[in-house]
Structure 1
């Protein structure tokens, strides 16, 4: 591989070379998936669930996908409707997704870890006509969608009296002649919808088009063994499913949580060849005594992304990766892949642009006025790709906030491009932070803290940790004479926000005032500086009570 980035000094735009597509992006992914599933040996294993102890063959996956597509068609659903999914990587999830593709109906995938309010907000945007979910979150999903009044089927851990996926997986007459629905809106027709968080804390629904799904397929083949902890509410989770179904090989899935020990077990047990994940996952893996060249001998490629990968972490991973390559990638939920660095060179960068992507660096001057920057000049990263982004589902205002009239998208990240065309990231993306692979909004935590009667003001900021990412720290201003403690606030947040990644994992600081600019906007970086200084100088998180 040799990705070349050229620079147009007049337009101040960096451009990458187009890549040859494996499939015709103007053809339905459902039609391609159906053809590829039928072309494989029926008894060949396409998926193994380590946690469930099941195997799914290409023949069975094809039959199930056709059953799902036929059922959706029988309900009258088409490309203008949406199927809701709240599930982990279980045995029957993949055939449901492929069935949606075959019927041309986009699906909106959410992870079961999402809180009830998040599910309610996202499904209020996409308005699914039918929902599939894991049995253990059935009642949460039911409560979140009671106003939609749609049928809910469980994918696993079934409940008495609740419809289950098996009710749909009935043989379809003349299944061998079943045809996928044609693309009504062409290559840019929406095929998948995944969640994304915004600076206000409210989730948005990111549209993925037919051509986008087909344009980012990894080069795998029938001998490939694929694994990622990502479920299909993440870009990498979808990517592995597409590669598995369209290109072949066997995909390993699990519902067990990540630990480095378990990741190593999966790699050695199944002789995994292709891995995707985050730097902290593979960084932790490389610290294990069992991380040896022998243990990693089957691995051909590791693609990692989602957050900054320190050069030392990359070096540790590469040390035992004797038969494979480590790829440090950069992308966003909205855009997909932007750049790749697959070499042990300039490892502090995210490499060069790929796939026909174009990039601008803009500096904000006097608010809305923007200045285009040249090589080695820092600014906001804007990207344009050949596969148009369709925006946030049912949210044109949010779409307009990050995409201009010409289709250029503001990543929200700050960086620069050097003289060799390598992209350097130098700052975090807007206000959104990431802890252990999960995005969270400081604003949401702030609002929850301020809802306490004794709290006057609050500011949440991230303190970066090489292992886990952004640990939330909370600066809190209390009412005079309040007896509220850090423990009280932590307990309240645990009750209200539930999930660990939305907790102040770095701790709570008590301060006199919150730093803001003249317009009243929180100065998070300033508050982080103030609070860390307090901790360093006093050994305490209390400035004044």
Structure 2
């Protein structure tokens, strides 16, 4: 790939200009998908679902997509409508999404782990006219969407008396000649709506245009066996779905939860050749005693996403990845891929600017544009307009400047050889596996305890790219509340793992604040870690 980044010293912008595109962004991704599915050998395996023990051929994926498109058309749904999807990577998810795109319907995807209130609030914004969900989360989705009064179809784990997707997968007369609806709003028509990282409460809804989804991808080909644990609510999950459709090969999917042992089992069983995964998951994989060079011999491309792998982790991976390349990437939900590092020489870097991307570094105080080796806020844009947050013009305006650059929220710099480095986060963001969260959410939960006077939540790194939430808590005089009580209370209130106190709680005398009464998280973190260290020394 061409990562020939250039720095314009006059404009102070780094760029990697994209070549002419293979796919015309003015053509519907639904139409292109139908063409590419039709072009494959009909009995070739497009997708294998390990958990459901199913195989999906290209011809069957095409037929199912046409059936979904025809059903939506019969309901009168088109380019100004949205379909809601709350699902894991199941057998029928891909053809349902393609069917929506064929009819010009945008998909608003969510992870089934989302709480009922979050699903309700997000769907109140996008107002889907039809919803597809996994059976395991049907009751939650039904309760969250009562106000919409729209049909809900389960994709798997069906219930008696509940609509299931198979009911609409009916033969369509002349399906081999079925055509997609043309784009009503051009290349920038919204085709996917993905939740943001949700670092300040309920996630925002990021619009992904037809232009953004219909990308050229040169890392894959018809012989690739593709895998990621990421679901369609993340850029990685939906992008690899598109790669599978446009470039061919076989995509492995599963609804089973991650474990390093299961990850290795899948790689060996299916001879997976291309993987997109977070550093946490890959780090645990290569640290398994049974993970050897031989067991990873099938891998040709391993792309790190959703976090930066440390130098030591990269070395551990490369020591066992003898037949493939390790790529360390950086991007955001709003922008997509911003930079990629395929070099071992600058392992701390997130690489050079990705094809079709532009980056500038801004002093957060003065607003001045900075040059090489000067630290500031990273702003980026890609070819094609960013369509902003769905139904939230104010939040969109805060994120984007007049030139179309988006604030990533990260602090970093770019060196003399155009390699980018991230050094800090400009916002209070924590990450647990692929989920981002704000400390404020956990602080709000802890504050529900009557004995709590003050609280500060911070993250402690586990050394593999994950932030383990910890809380410093001030109690009322005479309170008998213990640190374990606080941890258990949060676990009971916040059912999702990433919003729990995975590092623990510390009872302190006061919370450190600056002159503006702002909590000093870094100082409180150090105070608590010193307390922990002192306890260990006494033991």
TM-score (norm 1): 0.96
Q: What's the CA shift string for 1:227-272, capped at 9, x where partnerless?
A: 1111111111011100111110110011111111111111111111
User: Does the alignment pair 1:167 with 2:167?
Assistant: yes
Q: Secondary structure at the match of 1:490?
A: helix
RMSD of the alignment, in Å?
Answer: 1.6
Contact 1:197–1:432 (Cα < 8 Å) also in 2: no
1:199 CA drift (Å): 3.9
Residue 532 (structure 1) aligns with: 529
Q: What's the CA shift string for 1:197-220, capped at 9, x where partnerless?
A: 344312111111111111263532
Residue 423 (structure 2) aligns with: 426
1:30-41 equivalent positions in 2, closer than 5 A = 30-41=30-41
User: Does the alignment pair 1:399 with 2:381?
Assistant: no
Residue 354 (structure 2) aligns with: 354
**1:455 aligns with one of 441, 447, 452:** 452
Partner Cα separation in structure 2 for residue 513 and residue 395 of structure 1 = 38
Q: Secondary structure at the match of 1:11?
A: coil
Partner Cα separation in structure 1 for residue 358 and residue 517 of structure 2 = 35
Partner Cα separation in structure 2 for residue 118 and residue 429 of structure 1 = 25
Partner Cα separation in structure 1 for residue 439 and residue 125 of structure 2 = 22
Aligned pair in 2 of structure 1 residues 43, 350: CA closer, same or farther (>3 Å)?
same
User: Does the alignment pair 1:156 with 2:156?
Assistant: yes
1:538 CA drift (Å): 4.1
1:38-77 equivalent positions in 2, closer than 5 A = 38-77=38-77
User: Does the alignment pair 1:205 with 2:205?
Assistant: yes
Q: Secondary structure at the match of 2:490?
A: helix
Any stretches of 5+ residues in structure 1 without a counterpart?
none
Residue 464 (structure 2) aligns with: 467
Aligned pair in 2 of structure 1 residues 186, 35: CA closer, same or farther (>3 Å)?
same
Partner Cα separation in structure 2 for residue 271 and residue 22 of structure 1 = 29
Q: What's the CA shift string for 1:7-29, capped at 9, x where partnerless?
A: 12222211123244331122110
Residue 192 (structure 1) aligns with: 192
Contact 2:305–2:329 (Cα < 8 Å) also in 1: yes
Residue 381 (structure 2) aligns with: 384
1:127 CA drift (Å): 1.0
Q: Secondary structure at the match of 1:370?
A: coil
Partner Cα separation in structure 2 for residue 196 and residue 336 of structure 1 = 12
Aligned pair in 2 of structure 1 residues 82, 539: CA closer, same or farther (>3 Å)?
same
Residue 102 (structure 1) aligns with: 102
Q: What's the CA shift string for 1:126-180, capped at 9, x where partnerless?
A: 1111111111111011111111111111000000100000111111111122110
**1:370 aligns with one of 343, 367, 370:** 367
Partner Cα separation in structure 2 for residue 113 and residue 325 of structure 1 = 32
Partner Cα separation in structure 2 for residue 222 and residue 197 of structure 1 = 32
Residue 324 (structure 1) aligns with: 324
Partner Cα separation in structure 2 for residue 61 and residue 198 of structure 1 = 33
Any stretches of 5+ residues in structure 2 without a counterpart?
none
Q: What's the CA shift string for 1:403-424, capped at 9, x where partnerless?
A: 1222111100010001100000
Partner Cα separation in structure 1 for residue 372 and residue 455 of structure 2 = 39
Contact 1:218–1:243 (Cα < 8 Å) also in 2: no
Residue 249 (structure 2) aligns with: 249
Contact 2:87–2:134 (Cα < 8 Å) also in 1: yes
Aligned pair in 2 of structure 1 residues 398, 519: CA closer, same or farther (>3 Å)?
farther
Q: Secondary structure at the match of 2:422?
A: strand
Q: Which segment is superposed worse, 157-166 or 36-45?
A: 36-45
Aligned pair in 2 of structure 1 residues 284, 207: CA closer, same or farther (>3 Å)?
same
Contact 2:199–2:437 (Cα < 8 Å) also in 1: no
1:223 CA drift (Å): 0.8
Contact 1:3–1:17 (Cα < 8 Å) also in 2: no
